[in-house]
């Protein structure tokens, strides 16, 4: 079982910025989001899109450079939020004028909901602790009118091949079975569970 690192809550935002601000303008999009390898980014986002493809509005929590836009239909209303303001500035400069229903905002969802049919979070819990995890998930559930989908690094991982550029001594891992069980108690038992797309990661889709 992989051991999980839990950041101190008061250090969350400073360390989040330390991890990501310097990566905002990375040439390779997967590096800006610390996905490990480009195929890992695409597989994760494809898994999420497979689950939410019938939704007409998406809230992307911790959107980074909003790579999920590449997978959605142009008529889907997309709203990306992130705690790192530099990502939102980057997005508004490069994607903010496209003729699609896409908007971006620097916002903490725990302060105020942003309703959407699908609320997603991909790699948003890479740096985290249990308190932040559940408070954020509660806020995402409150905003989701149809489905909440998120992924996490899994403690079931036997190896982390392909993630050599990551420091996994400071990564947040979750037990997928305990997470599934707690989500079924906290929200609903209508949950889709996937742990089949590559080693070291799982996705839950929680339906209203």
pLDDT of residue 160: 54
As beta bridge partners, residue 61 has: 81
* Residue 180 covered by a domain: yes
CATH number at residue 94: 3.40.50.150
**Range with the lowest mean pLDDT among 6-20, 100-114, 125-139?**
6-20
* Residue 199 covered by a domain: yes
Asked whether the whole model's pTM tops 0.85, one would answer yes
* Residue 91 covered by a domain: yes
pLDDT in tens, 30-55: 444 545 555 777 899 999 999 999 99
Residue 119: pLDDT above 90? yes
Per-residue pLDDT averaged across 146-160, rounded? Answer: 86
* Residue 4 covered by a domain: no
**DSSP reduced 3-state for 149:** strand
Q: In which element (H, E) is residue 177 found?
A: helix 176-186
* Residue 187 covered by a domain: yes
Q: In which element (H, E) is residue 102 found?
A: strand 102-106
Better-predicted residue by pLDDT, 1 or 181: 181
State the total domains in the chain: 1
* Residue 90 covered by a domain: yes
pLDDT of residue 175: 94
- Per the structure, the complete domain to which residue 142 belongs is given by 9-207
* CA 132 vs CA 19, 47, 128, 148: distances in Å: 17, 24, 6, 17
Per-residue pLDDT averaged across 61-67, rounded? Answer: 93
């Amino acid at each position: 079982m992989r051991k999980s690192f839990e950041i101190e809550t008061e250090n969350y935002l400073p360390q989040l910025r330390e991890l990501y601000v310097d990566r905002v303008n990375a040439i390779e999009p997967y590096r800006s989001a610390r996905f490990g390898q480009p195929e890992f980014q695409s597989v994760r986002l494809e898994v999420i899109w497979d689950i939410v493809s019938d939704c007409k509005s998406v809230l992307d929590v911790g959107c980074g450079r909003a790579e999920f836009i590449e997978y959605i239909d142009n008529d889907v209303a997309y709203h990306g939020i992130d705690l790192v303001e530099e990502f939102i500035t980057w997005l508004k400069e490069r994607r903010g004028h496209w003729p699609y229903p896409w908007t971006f905002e620097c916002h903490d969802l725990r302060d105020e909901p942003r309703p959407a049919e699908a609320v997603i979070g991909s790699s948003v819990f890479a740096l985290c602790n249990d308190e932040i995890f559940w408070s954020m998930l509660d806020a995402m559930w409150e905003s989701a009118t149809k489905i909440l989908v998120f992924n996490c690094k899994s403690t079931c991982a036997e190896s982390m091949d392909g993630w050599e550029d990551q420091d996994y001594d400071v990564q947040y891992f979750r037990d997928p079975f305990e997470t599934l069980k707690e989500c079924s108690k906290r929200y609903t038992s209508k949950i889709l569970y996937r742990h089949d797309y590559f080693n070291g990661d799982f996705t839950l889709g929680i339906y209203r």
